[in-house]
Amino acid sequence: MVPTVLIVDDHDGFRSFARTILQAEGFEVVGDAGDGESGLDAVARLQPVIVVLDIHLPGLDGFEVAEQLAELDQPPAVVLVSTRDAPSLRRRLATTPARGFIRKDELSGAAVAALVGE
């Protein structure tokens, strides 16, 4: 079974890049969203197994979205992404229900799979 992915990021270019990379590495990208609210709606509608979620979003940030997703009966595996380094986000990353963090420039199917166990 091919893992399904939703990409939530406010930059069109990154969403396109992530889609290309993940599809080339065997994931099925079922949709994308440009902000936290739209991301929550898309999860409810598309039921992805994995959500690649930018931390810095307009409105609800990625940490808030991850917390809301974790409350679902069948939550998707959340992988947080950012252009910032993990050490600058250490405190918030330590308490998030997300499976892990990947710098945007290090995104790959293998990195996502390693965090979510696919």
pLDDT value of residue 70: 96
Provide the total of helices (H) and of strands (E) in the chain, helices listed first: 5, 5
Q: What is the mean pLDDT of the chain?
A: 93
Instruction: Tell me if 92 is assigned to some domain.
Output: yes
Instruction: Tell me if 30 is assigned to some domain.
Output: yes
pTM for this prediction: 0.94
| Farthest-apart Cα atoms in the chain, separation | 36
Give per-residue pLDDT as tens, 105-117: 999 999 999 999 8
**Which CATH number goes with the domain that contains 92?**
3.40.50.2300
Residue 81 near residue 60, CB atoms below 8 Å:
no
Residue 30's domain comprises 4-105
Instruction: Tell me if 112 is assigned to some domain.
Output: no
Q: How far apart are CA 100 and CA 80, in angstroms?
A: 6
pLDDT value of residue 84: 85
The DSSP element (H or E) to which 52 belongs, if any, is: strand 50-54
